[in-house]
Structure 1
Amino acid sequence: MVWTRGLALAGIVWCAGLLVATTLPGGLRWPLAVVALSTALPVVPGFVAVLLAGIRRTTGLQAETRAGQAKALWRLVRDTLPGWLLVASGLLFAGFWVVAVLTLTGSPGVAEEQAGTYVLNNNGETTVISEAEYLSRRARESRLVAAVAGCFSVAVAVISTALLRRKADKAVHP
């Protein structure tokens, strides 16, 4: 579980760096597939490990409803993590979430390059745009991917830290 937390922390830093890079003049000129793959590498293994390692098995979350499981998970996080860490991670999660929501608003289509011209494709209806607008749209797509991955990284870091602390507490106080 320690490696999970380490990957999640690396994912947070990487996603934050990508977000900053997409806002710089000239933006991030990587293909979207490279951005998606590079943000998924530190996030997906940790996310799967947290799920499979058994939030239920490790924490005893045996509630029958999803609401009951969510309450039990919240109790685990609240009881094992200091308040300042909860606030900091909540603000970081909210920051990534706000970037994702703001990136989604007002998107009239997907930026594409077709036969040497830049277009916005909205369900088959294309509109010609400038290269600057195309690059701006591509940067927005990269920002969205990095923001969503950042949200998952924060969640994995918080949950894995709570699970590690619960495990350490059980070892000290059997």
Structure 2
Amino acid sequence: MSRFYSAVDLIAGIIVAFARLVIIVSGIALTLVTTANVAVRYLSASGGLSFAQELPMLIFPWFIIAGIVLAAHAGGHMAVEWLYDKLAGQSRTMALIVANAISVAAFLVLAYQATVVAEIAGAEHSPVLQLPNSIGYYALSIGAVLVSIVTVAATARVLRLGWDHRLELKPEEVAL
């Protein structure tokens, strides 16, 4: 069982590192493209960069879903905590397991449906960059699978270490 927990922790760690990288790279890209477009718009009569209208729409979903993955991993997403406060011991842990199982199932259904829609949207392409319109849907699909995996990891963390280790938020990771 120890190997299982180690593998789950390793996979969750890789996913978290990947999500952080996606946030950094996409955040920088969004900032650079938007800043360049504003600068060109004010410095020239062309009205801005033609691709700068499309690129943020393609990058933004990756930025958002990476943040959702990090929030799910840390336990920082929205949750209904009052139920857990009313329960104790095994019943509280069982409620968490049931809630997380429902969440995992819902995210896997979302991943599947986003893939179905992505296949349909892939027939259309953006006017300037000629990229398929499915990119955002694939971001959602991939992100939903990653949220499912980190939710399983969070559940495993509670089963292995106890209720006090349910959340993994650190003070330096919380923005006020």
Q: Which has the higher contact order (CA 8 A, sep 6+)?
A: 1
Normalized per residue, the structure richer in strand is 1
Normalised-by-shorter TM-score class: 0.3 to 0.5
The alignment's TM-score, normalised by the length of structure 1, stands at 0.36
- TM normalised by structure 2 equals 0.36
More helix by share: 2
